[in-house]
Structure 1
Amino acid sequence: MSLLALVLAHLVVAGLLPWVARWNRRAAFGIAALLPAATLGWALTRLGPALGPGVSESLAWAPALDLGYTVRLDALGIVMIVLVGGIGALVLAYSAWYFADDGEEASRSAALLLAFAGVMLGLVLADDLLTLYVFWELTSVASFLLVGQGGLHRANRRAAVQALLMTVFGGLAMLLGVVLLGQAAGTFVISEIVAAPPTGGAVTAALALILVGALTKSAQVPFHPWLPAAMVAPTPVSAYLHAAAMVKAGVVVVARLSPGFADRPQWWVPVVAFGLVTMLLGGWRAMQETDLKRLLAFGTISQLGFLMVLFGTGDRIAEIAALTMLLAHGLFKAPLFMVVGAIDETAGTREAGELSGLGRARPGLAAVSALAAASMAGVPFLLGFLGKEAAFEGVLHPGGPRGWLIGVGLLVGSVLTVAYSARFLWGAFATKPGVDAVGAVAPPAGLTVPAWIAAGAGLVLGCAPPLTDALAQRYAAAYPAADAEEAGYHLALWHGFSVPLLFSAVALGLGYLLHRWRARAATVHRALRFPITAERSYELVVAGTERFAVRFTGRVQAGSLPVYLGVLLATVLLLPGVALLLGGVLPEDQRLVDALMQIPLGLGVVVAALVLPRARRRFTAVLLLGAIGYGIGGLFVVDGGPDLALAQFLVETLTLVVFVLVLRRLPAHFDARPEVSPRRAVQVRKGALAALVGIFVAAAGVVLSGVRQQPSAVSAQYVALAPETGAENVVAAILVDFRALDTVGEITVLMVAIAGTASLALATRYDRRPRGSGSGTPEHEKELLG
């Protein structure tokens, strides 16, 4: 089985699941879980090649344009398959017991979750920017559908729209950055770009645009509000998309490009700065939340900021820590979401103030939560501890102000992580004075076993560092080591007494004290509350955009054809017109006249165009329009385009016939002149706009026709393959063979036009309206013809 087949299989099976769900809901989730699990098993069998040169596959769909679908399985890909495939299989199995038997969300969610797993798999394995972008946008669409569910609830609709607006905005910026980077590098293959990174101003702009996309998808400040809002989605969706998989997309993009650009300030400075701010803000907000899902959501934001910092620094040890924390985060955050879902299903609430005594009533849930939360806090013998200690070592080892500044920032963020981890356990399972103990029933095994598997994996990998170290070392090999100590660093439970170990101990101690002082922290939070938050800013931007759209539409959609035409022409001048003025270069060998016949034909077109606005009779205006069209057709003949001339003559003839038939039912003259003539200033503005647009069209035609100095690769293929069609003319071969469907469509359009013309002509035979109206009378015909 190939990588390409795995991605396609997810999408195909997802399309069949709704029919399976109608028969048996749990069977649908079970079948859906098998494919991600099989993907994980297949990837582990390719572990050797993946840790070596990597496993690459490509499928060319436009070789002449160097466009194809390229995927690559390497160390980073293996880690992401563990999250996408392994956690995905557990979440799908969990969903079989979470969704109601008769709920409509079941069949929809099973198909969408599996489809999301497929597109996310394509994203994390993509080795070219265009492929990555396609799957990037597909994950946004899948997230929109999963968060919105059936669209029956306002909160779901609002959260889905907010997530879509945020991520699509970043995606559009990222698309422009992808194009700029690919053009500057001469290739869109990520591994080739990283091996020989390009330079220049365009590359700097491309990196900034790509980072906008990465920051929005991974919920970095100030684009983070969509993630807590998305917690209205069902818990399995939150556990998969918003903890283990989708929110890692931006982190994966940074991880893919960092080996080539991490040494550049325009890359690592914004990544580290936004990451640190996000880690601190997310951790602080998580401490203040009482809804357990929102607490975990802000904790996810904080952890994503942590990952951004590590992947952005470019230090070899920090990259080892980054890959370790990437794996650890999925293994401890997904089971915590699953536990919240189990609590909500059995206790009927997930508010910390309403839960009391649940730890004694359900010690199994408390134990798995403690295991996962301890890994999140960085307690020894768990995978989170390995990652955090390596992170402290990575940022502190180089020394200097930069290293200590980042190190202190990570320490403060880790203190907050310990605090909200303790707050989660206290809020969910502690016995609270004055609060009645909840009477939660025992959750089914389907809601607890997947959480135990994920949290237990964090314990196993934490106690066996070499398993994760092999993956982390392979990814970090792309970063040069500054000294022998950095080159020889490996994940381990004990590195001796060191500053990183001290930082870990300080984080655990101060974090626990901060949790004990949570009342004082809440007081400080209320005192520091600002009137304008990120969520409020989003609301103001959306509302302001709507108001601007209403006012702008009211101005330009005024019911006036000249206004519509003026807006369109002004837009042409402001966008491509400015670009042509700044970057257009006239061809050096441009000649004014190529053939003598161009002169009379061109003069005839110009004279007819100048006389046309002065015409007062409709029939005269139609004849002048026809003269312009026939003159352009004559230029086509002179320039060697008889096929274009024929089409032009045909269109002009049909148009003239239609106009004549229509004019028989209209007054001979245009509307009488108004008593008050248009202002001179209005006429001058219209004339100036028309003249500028005409100059732009002429200049664009000259410039664009001279840009290409030789036939394109596609044109060369047309010429090479034309003899096989039996045609003696390459244009005929293109129209009849290579663009057959397009040609059939054009013929259909012409047939519709001919049928419409014939219908108008035949309709006059049945005109029985009174002749007294003046329309169609002999007097009218005489006036019409002059």
Structure 2
Amino acid sequence: MLAVVAVHLLIAPCLLVLARRNRRAAFGAGAVLLAGTLVWALTMTPRVLDGGVADEIDWAPQLGLTLSLRMDALALAMTVLVSGVGALIMVYAAWYFGPRSADAARSASLLVTFAGLMLGLVLADDLLTLYVFWELTSLTSFLLVGQGGRYRENRRAAVQALVVTVFGGLGMLLGIVLLGETAGTYRIPALIEHAAAGTLDGGHPWSLAFALVLILLGALTKSAQLPFHTWLPYAMAAPTPISAYLHAASMVKAGVVLVARLGPAVGGYAVWWVPVVVLGVATMLVGGWRALRQTDLKRLLAFGTVSQLGFLMVLFGAGSRVAALAGIAMLLAHGLFKAPLFMVVGAIDKTCGTRDLRELCGLGRRRRGLVAVAALSGLAMAGIPPTLGFVGKEAALAAFLEEGGVRGLLVLAGLVLGSLLTVAYTARFLWGAFASKGTMPTDSEPVPAGLSAPAWVCALAGLGLGFATPAVQRLAASYADTLPALGGYAPRYELALWHGFGIELGLTVVIVAGGLLLHRFGGAATGHRSVPAVSAQRGYEVVVTALERSAISVTGHLQIGSLPVYLGVVLGTLIALPGSALLLRGTFPAADVSYHAIMQVPVALLVIVAAIALCRARRRFTAVLLVGAVGYGIGGMFVIDGAPDLALAQFLVETLTMVAFVFVLRRFPAHFSEPDTEHRVRLPKVLVAGAAGILVALLAVALSAARVGPPSTTEGFVRLAPESGATNIISAILVDFRAMDTVGEIAVLLICAAGTASLVLATRHDRRRHDRVVSGGGSPQHEEEVIGG
């Protein structure tokens, strides 16, 4: 599996070169790669259904860091979308991008790159691996949406998507670290085992709750849930193949995959399922309502995607077996009906020059192929038999009917209303794109087979899986059976195209009839175009504007060209953050000796006296000597503690620094300048510097007390040091294990020596010329003043 992901990342740059020679060949090569990945994944189906296939590399075993991938039922379902639908979109893109397109080459390369990264995300078996691929997909989608950056709309959409998803991703990283440290593992299977044993919180329930909220923040932003959903409709500025792939088949489902991955471990915690279910239902309703108000077909589908993502969040966040069965079915169905609908919109836009439903008229009579594929996909989106969309939606209704109770009935009511809106905006899409709404039919060119054939394959696959429900059931059950069955019939429920006449079928009839009536007679309510008083997009703009103003204000107050201010801010932050943690949770040794060797006492006194005298120094040359005394004293400590190598490096650095300072200071005034405000600000400086010094001392003691044994890497150094012929482990590290690092340090010392030598030569040159430089430029009088003559 690691090799498959790596192949995508290696081939992607090659497509840039190939695209310059033959644009369609580049997209074709990408399609072959993705199709091959799909075939490879399908050949693993028997092993996947028997428990999954794992692949792992220990890239830092001492730190517990591994690159872990696992192909299970959920990953296989997503691979069908990422690779299968992705291959069809690559074929579609080969005909969509024109021969003079400046973005074709980079789009081919970035699409394959994104496919590889998305595969890594869905296959990730530990949270840290998942996060790495998570952020890389955000960066790649930024490049895909922004394209070449030539158009303001693309730049704005790409920046908004990046800001929202990376904001959520940073919160998710903090949550992942908190969850991993609380549970003692980052491996997802291990988290599930801890949850089953009741030890997931590690005795810290509040830490677990906070971690889950932060992780949800990443999932909600990535999958465009309320109130973070506005980035997705604006991302429709990207070319249609990009939208069809990122916003129908792959990227927007990342948050859904994360919720599904952690569902078996944390699905029973209210802090997890309550926000997922509540926001999922709200997103489904808001997205569906907003879709009914759109006149741009692509934005209509975008808000429809928002609505469907809310639906998927509810199914995977509910944490029950039947809801998970419905979730896998709808996950597949959504990619297989939404991608062809985006392709249809792209074909309409290319052949008609518009995708505004107010301008399109009579297209259905002349482009019957597009009508058929759009209608077939629309049936699946509306949940009408015999499509896979119907199977998944009926299972969703059954899940909450079986669950019952307050939660089950409330969620069921939300899903029914959201599904009714789905039928309504599906009808609006088909009517707006193909109906005859005027007397002047829209001019249209013939649709190339390269734009229609991929859409047909997707739509027919959705229809075929509706008839092949037993295969979907077996795949979905491999994941869903790990979740509790809520309801008496829930343990025996299976996905099927026909369950007989029942409440679910009756609700489906009500949903379809209500949606059609809403489309037919609800124009007055849904066609209102005014911007609502409460707008998520306005909220985003207000927040971003406030952040920009705050950044300008903070920069104006802090970046004023004053070194004392910079040091004060750094030290103040150090005191406020680590200092607070040290006072609240710091652990100090119960009993400790004041010193370990008698020679430490005079050397420590020397350092302290030199530091105090340094604060009182008025001559620059005196200050340099005192700084050197502090450095030499620290080097003496290294000698006393048995680290001659560190002491030698310290002495060399201090000597070079002093020599360099001496030759530089001859160009400066002998005394420090002391402005009138010096006395007024001296006390705050003393307080900040003193507090920082005390904090560093306390941190040294606390961190020393926290170490109860040698680092995990020490054992390897001790074992390998004799093999290098060394009796001193520090020497072995510097010469053998970190040889390149040591060479770099030696190079730095040589550069410092060369700089010092150049200063000496410059001084001799000035003396030969008998130059006089005002304000301490090397004149004899200044030299005497510097040395105190």
Residue 155 of structure 1 is matched in structure 2 by: 153
Alignment of 1:134-533 (within 5 A): 134-197=132-195, 198-199=200-201, 200-433=205-438, 436-482=440-486, 485-522=489-526, 525=528, 529-533=531-535
Residue 30 of structure 1 deviates from its aligned partner by: 0.5
Alignment of 1:383-782 (within 5 A): 383-433=388-438, 436-482=440-486, 485-522=489-526, 525=528, 529-671=531-673, 673-674=674-675, 676=676, 678-680=678-680, 682-767=681-766, 768-771=769-772, 773=774, 775-782=777-784
Q: Residues 395 and 404 of structure 1 are in contact (CA less than 8 Å); yes or no, is this contact kept in structure 2?
A: yes
Aligned partners of 2:714 and 2:591: how far apart in 1? Answer: 23
Q: Deviations over 1:139-164 (max 9, x none)?
A: 11110010010110011111111111
Aligned partners of 2:35 and 2:529: how far apart in 1? Answer: 46
Aligned partners of 1:667 and 1:691: how far apart in 2? Answer: 28
Q: Which AA in structure 2 matches 1:68?
A: T
Structure 1's 771 and 376: CA in aligned 2 closer, same or farther, altered over 3 A? closer
Q: Which AA in structure 2 matches 1:379?
A: I
Aligned partners of 1:756 and 1:624: how far apart in 2? Answer: 22
Q: Which AA in structure 2 matches 1:727?
A: A
Q: Deviations over 1:401-449 (max 9, x none)?
A: 1110000000000000000000000010000035x21121111000001
Aligned partners of 1:423 and 1:771: how far apart in 2? Answer: 86
SS at 2:69's partner residue? strand
Structure 1's 299 and 380: CA in aligned 2 closer, same or farther, altered over 3 A? same
Q: Residues 579 and 695 of structure 2 are in contact (CA less than 8 Å); yes or no, is this contact kept in structure 1?
A: yes
Structure 2: runs of 5+ lacking an equivalent:
none
Q: Residues 293 and 529 of structure 2 are in contact (CA less than 8 Å); yes or no, is this contact kept in structure 1?
A: no
Q: Residues 174 and 211 of structure 2 are in contact (CA less than 8 Å); yes or no, is this contact kept in structure 1?
A: yes
State, as a whole percentage, how many aligned pairs show the same letter.
60
Aligned partners of 2:745 and 2:471: how far apart in 1? Answer: 62
Structure 1's 283 and 769: CA in aligned 2 closer, same or farther, altered over 3 A? farther
Q: Which AA in structure 2 matches 1:76?
A: L
Residue 77 of structure 1 deviates from its aligned partner by: 1.2
Aligned partners of 1:30 and 1:209: how far apart in 2? Answer: 41
SS at 1:456's partner residue? helix
Residue 397 of structure 1 deviates from its aligned partner by: 0.5
Residue 29 of structure 1 is matched in structure 2 by: 27
Q: Which moved more, 1:626-635 or 1:365-374?
A: 626-635
Residue 783 of structure 1 deviates from its aligned partner by: 2.2
Q: Residues 368 and 452 of structure 1 are in contact (CA less than 8 Å); yes or no, is this contact kept in structure 2?
A: yes
Q: Residues 333 and 389 of structure 2 are in contact (CA less than 8 Å); yes or no, is this contact kept in structure 1?
A: yes
Alignment of 1:58-69 (within 5 A): 58-69=56-67
Aligned partners of 2:682 and 2:668: how far apart in 1? Answer: 26
Q: Which AA in structure 2 matches 1:145?
A: L
Q: Which AA in structure 2 matches 1:398?
A: E
SS at 1:151's partner residue? coil
Residue 389 of structure 1 deviates from its aligned partner by: 0.5
Over the aligned positions, Cα root-mean-square deviation in angstroms equals 1.4
Aligned partners of 1:299 and 1:135: how far apart in 2? Answer: 26
Q: Residues 177 and 209 of structure 1 are in contact (CA less than 8 Å); yes or no, is this contact kept in structure 2?
A: yes
Q: Residues 173 and 213 of structure 1 are in contact (CA less than 8 Å); yes or no, is this contact kept in structure 2?
A: yes
Structure 1's 365 and 613: CA in aligned 2 closer, same or farther, altered over 3 A? same
Q: TM-score, normalised by structure 1?
A: 0.97
Q: Which AA in structure 2 matches 1:182?
A: G
SS at 1:397's partner residue? helix
Provide the aligned length of Structure 1 versus Structure 2: 778
Aligned partners of 2:170 and 2:449: how far apart in 1? Answer: 43
Q: Deviations over 1:60-116 (max 9, x none)?
A: 212222211111111111110110010000000111100011212111111100111
Residue 505 of structure 1 deviates from its aligned partner by: 1.0
Residue 121 of structure 2 is matched in structure 1 by: 123
Q: Deviations over 1:286-321 (max 9, x none)?
A: 010000000000000000000000001111111100
Residue 775 of structure 1 deviates from its aligned partner by: 4.0
Residue 260 of structure 1 deviates from its aligned partner by: 1.2
Q: Residues 107 and 144 of structure 2 are in contact (CA less than 8 Å); yes or no, is this contact kept in structure 1?
A: yes
Q: Which AA in structure 2 matches 1:75?
A: A
Q: Which AA in structure 1 matches 2:107?
A: S
Q: Residues 147 and 154 of structure 2 are in contact (CA less than 8 Å); yes or no, is this contact kept in structure 1?
A: yes
Aligned partners of 1:619 and 1:464: how far apart in 2? Answer: 86
Aligned partners of 1:228 and 1:744: how far apart in 2? Answer: 53
Aligned partners of 2:579 and 2:670: how far apart in 1? Answer: 39
Aligned partners of 1:738 and 1:746: how far apart in 2? Answer: 14
Aligned partners of 1:628 and 1:679: how far apart in 2? Answer: 26
Q: Residues 514 and 521 of structure 1 are in contact (CA less than 8 Å); yes or no, is this contact kept in structure 2?
A: no
SS at 1:87's partner residue? helix
Residue 464 of structure 1 deviates from its aligned partner by: 2.5
Residue 683 of structure 1 deviates from its aligned partner by: 2.3
Q: Which moved more, 1:513-522 or 1:260-269?
A: 513-522
Residue 4 of structure 1 deviates from its aligned partner by: 1.3
